[in-house]
Amino acid sequence: MEVPMHDTDRKNIIELRDIGQSYDGGQNWIIKGLDFLIEDKPAQGQFAVILGMSGSGKSTVLRYIAGLQQPTEGQVLISGTKADAKNRVSMVFQQYSSLPWMTVLDNVALGLKFKGVSREERNAKAMELIDLVGLKGHEKKYAQYPTLSGGQLQRVAIARSMLANPEILLMDEPFGALDIRTRLQMQELLTDIWHQFHSTVVFVTHDIREAVFLGDDIYILKSQPSRFVEHIHVDLPLQRDNNIKRDPRYEELVREVEDAMLRVADME
Ligand SMILES: Nc1ncnc2c1ncn2[C@@H]1O[C@H](COP(=O)(O)OP(=O)(O)O)[C@@H](O)[C@H]1O
Ligand SMILES: [Mg+2]
């Protein structure tokens, strides 16, 4: 199945057109003919998940969207204009992307500092977010391991990204390094926060259950060369908590995505 370029009258917030990537002057193409399109849904946002095997180009796609890398060929458009690092895009990486030489409070407030918001106001806003992600009482601590746990450091990174109020939030396997209990907590926390911010989230994982729990739409990358080959719409309620995992439809979707991943693996 081709990824539908579901063109409606909505404008597109993210559009990758016929992307190709070569690192050796065009002898080998790591990515070829890759299309990706996410519509803008103002005051609703959306949660797109990219699934793919290791090395399939997931992180590269996020770097294009963030304007951190230009593809060898093709176009990357954010709200209709060429992607660059000045767009309102935030990224959370797998390894703790908080700044260890700053306190939790300063980490979370950082995005507002760049925008010239007064210290008083940015600290007040940062404290709201710190409360929201369950870190109240830790705000004066340095954002470093082992002062804070891995899960707490990822909360700092998520709070900072959210407070920067990005139109697009990119998350590259952000819970990959966490133990299972913390990971499940973080998944629930993220869906909660997302409902308050309505950002467009593009979330990368190779965990199928995580993809179905979090995503509205799941896009699967095949590799060698990479392009999107499957799109699965997740028809679960938008507001979810861990109980949804007992819903038979959740299990059915997990199996559908597993089957799709196997079909993709057979193509490689
Ligand atoms: N600078 C580079 N030079 C050569 N190959 C690269 C470079 N950057 C990434 N790649 C290759 O591009 C492919 C996709 O990488 P990546 O986007 O990191 O995959 P994923 O995040 O899905 O694991 C990999 O095969 C990787 O080896
Ligand atoms: Mg990666």
Asked if 75 and 98 sit in the same domain, the reply is no
Asked if 108 and 124 sit in the same domain, the reply is yes
- Compute how many other C-beta atoms are within 10 angstroms of the C-beta atom of residue 115: 9
Integer CA distances (angstroms), 251 to 39, 44, 230, in order: 27, 26, 19
Report yes or no: 230 and 78 within 8 Å, Cβ to Cβ.
Answer: no
**Cα(137) to centroid of ligand 2, in Å?**
33
- CA angle 73–64–20, rounded 5-degree value: 25
**Cα(222) to centroid of ligand 2, in Å?**
14
Q: Is 52 in the pocket of ligand 1 (CB under 6 A)?
A: yes
Residue 10 has pLDDT above 80, yes or no: no
Asked if 42 and 156 sit in the same domain, the reply is no
Which CATH number goes with the domain that contains 56? 3.40.50.300
Q: Is 30 in the pocket of ligand 1 (CB under 6 A)?
A: yes
Q: Is 28 in the pocket of ligand 1 (CB under 6 A)?
A: no
Residue 1 has pLDDT above 70, yes or no: no
Q: What is the mean pLDDT of residues 186-206?
A: 87
Q: What is the mean pLDDT of residues 39-49?
A: 85
Mean residue pLDDT of the chain comes to 89
Q: Indicate the SS3 state at residue 46.
A: strand
Of the candidates 146, 165, 184, which is a domain's last residue?
A: 165
Provide the 8-state DSSP code for 243: G
pLDDT digits (tens, 9 = 90+) for 18-33: 999 999 999 999 999 9
Q: What is the mean pLDDT of residues 140-159?
A: 92
Q: Whose CA is nearest to atom 6 of ligand 1?
A: 23
Asked if 14 and 50 sit in the same domain, the reply is yes
The total of structural domains in the chain comes to 2
Closest ligand to Cα 224: 1
Residue 85 has pLDDT above 60, yes or no: yes
For the chain, state the CA radius of gyration: 19
Instruction: Pick the closest to residue 220 from 80, 36, 60 (CA basis).
Output: 36
Asked if 66 and 4 sit in the same domain, the reply is yes
Residue 94 has pLDDT above 80, yes or no: no
Query: Do the domain assignments include residue 231?
Result: yes
Q: What is the mean pLDDT of residues 63-80?
A: 94
Q: Note residues around ion ligand 2 (Cβ under 5 angstroms).
A: 58-59
